[in-house]
Amino acid sequence: MTLRLHNTLTRTLEDFTPVEAGKVRMYVCGITVYDLCHMGHARTMTVFDVVYRWLRTIGYEVTYVRNITDIDDKIIRRAVERGITIGELTTQTTQAMHQDFAAIGLLPPTHEPRATEYVPQMLDVIAQLEARGLAYQSDDGDVNFAVRRFAGYGKLSGKSLDDLRAGERVAVQQGDGGKGDPLDFVLWKSAKPEEPAEAKFDSRYGAGRPGWHIECSAMACSMLGQPIDLHGGGMDLQFPHHENEIAQTEGATGATFARHWMHTGFLNVDDVKMSKSLGNFFTIREVLERYDGETLRFFLLRTHYRSPFNFSDAHIDDARAALRRLYTALDKVPAEAVTIDWQQPAAAAFRDAMNDDLNTPAALAVLFELASEVNRSGSAAQAGLLKALGATLGVLQLAPQAYLQGGQSGLDEAAVNAAIEARAAAKLARNFAEADRIRAQLLEQGVVLKDSAQGTTWVRA
């Protein structure tokens, strides 16, 4: 079955066919590193991590570029507020981002360019746009893109020029600094006297810094060329960021920027998009204080990537209980190392689900069917298939006991083992009341004991 993905550009489900057979060039808009990443970021980045894994699983050689925006108004403001340099701020927040992403099982991208490393390339794109009559410098020194001069503007978002309203990060004050149209967006921002020196770059337009949109165009084209096979990000980036990327890139080069566009649905809190600007967000780090990273990843995979869904402790608790069922099957029957036979019915069903627009809920349903079969048959080969298919999603790779015992806040493993030894001693002394008391006490702490001929083991409740 051919991989089919929804293309935001055409609004249809399409066969995914890269320009070069067997190779995929993928660009995903990364993080603006001024603060800790929140769970909305986790949702988007987990989706594209699964895209990356699945493309490689089905045989593609993937070049995955995920940028870092390390120069931006918010970054400058935050550095000034904290009394540190921009470099210090972005280094700290990038390190925190990497730690958080590793905790939820994200593979590193092939390349992770930083915007400040590509300023010359950005200026080259701006010069091309100026030569084509699509960019102009206003009285305040900013260089802007003339939206109404680009015939294809609005094709990604489906918005007409008459209906468009400038979106996030787009100045809308007509006449401000001589901007020709409220929809025009900034390509190069003229430096302000009060801004730190490290936020100022030399250019033929005077000292300044790049606009947000031009950064991704320059990095993507420099590293991947045109057209990119797959460009992705959160739904909030569809307009204006991705719309503007298309306009300035195709306006400068006359060539298609990206053939296929993927966007993830919002992660909501009480049916409202989770975002830093709204203040209704939970950082990945905060949630990791209560839940392990694999549980968070599993929670994010239970909803189709294009669908919005609500964040809540109850939903994560349910995801943890579901993941425990899978690990319990693997704990009961040790997995045999297997190579996936895609003709095998369960593997074929899993493959078909993933090839159907990355339908992770349906793929997870196959894993639960396999776990039931493992519980019924005790088949080590089926357990091996369960683990191998889980690997394509980045789950089920821990030792089962490590997962089943881990992730409980405040749980002292050494104390649990000491209590188990005390219980064994009480049973040996035929003090069954004391043994029962210890079992009950551990259960209150969230520890379930399992007795067998080989001894006593434990899992989280």
Q: What is the pLDDT of residues 338-396, one digit of tens each?
A: 999 999 999 999 999 999 999 999 999 999 999 999 999 999 999 999 999 999 999 99
Q: What pLDDT is attached to residue 213?
A: 96
For residues 195 and 337, state if they share a domain: no
Geometric angle at alpha carbon 394, from 391 and 400, rounded to 5°: 70
pTM: 0.87
Q: Are residues 389 and 362 in the same domain?
A: yes
Query: Is residue 279 located within the same domain as residue 325?
Result: yes
List the one residue out of 286, 113, 147, 140 whose CA is nearest residue 216.
113
Instruction: Give the end of a domain, one of 217, 247, 264.
Output: 264
What's the pLDDT score for residue 286? Answer: 94
Which helix or strand (DSSP H or E) is residue 103 part of?
A: helix 86-103
pLDDT of residue 146: 96
Domain shared by 92 and 228, yes or no:
yes
Q: What is the pLDDT of residues 221-238, one digit of tens each?
A: 999 999 999 999 999 999
What is residue 438's predicted lDDT score, i.e. its pLDDT? 81
Say whether both 198 and 54 belong to one domain. Answer: yes
415, 418, 420, 426 alpha-carbon torsion, rounded to 10°: -130
Chosen domain end from 264, 293, 326:
264
Task: Say if residue 276 carries a ligand binding annotation.
Answer: yes
Give the pLDDT score at 19.
97
pLDDT at 57: 98
What is the number of domains present in the chain? 3
Show the domain range for 426. 413-460
Q: Are residues 131 and 172 in the same domain?
A: yes
Residue 413 labeled ligand binder: no
List of the chain residues with pLDDT < 70: 1, 164-178, 276, 407-413, 446, 453-454, 460-461
- Select from 264, 294, 324 the last residue of a domain: 264
Predicted pLDDT at 161: 83
For residue 332, the domain's CATH number is 1.20.120.640
Q: Are residues 122 and 258 in the same domain?
A: yes
CA distance 147 to 104: 39
Q: Tell me how far apart the alpha carbons of residues 262 and 238 are, in angstroms, rounded to a whole number.
A: 9
296 and 427 part of one domain: no
- pLDDT for the residue numbered 398: 94
* 407: nearest Cα among 368, 447, 439, 367: 447
* Residue 41 is labelled as binding a ligand: no
Q: Tell me whether residue 189 is annotated as binding.
A: no
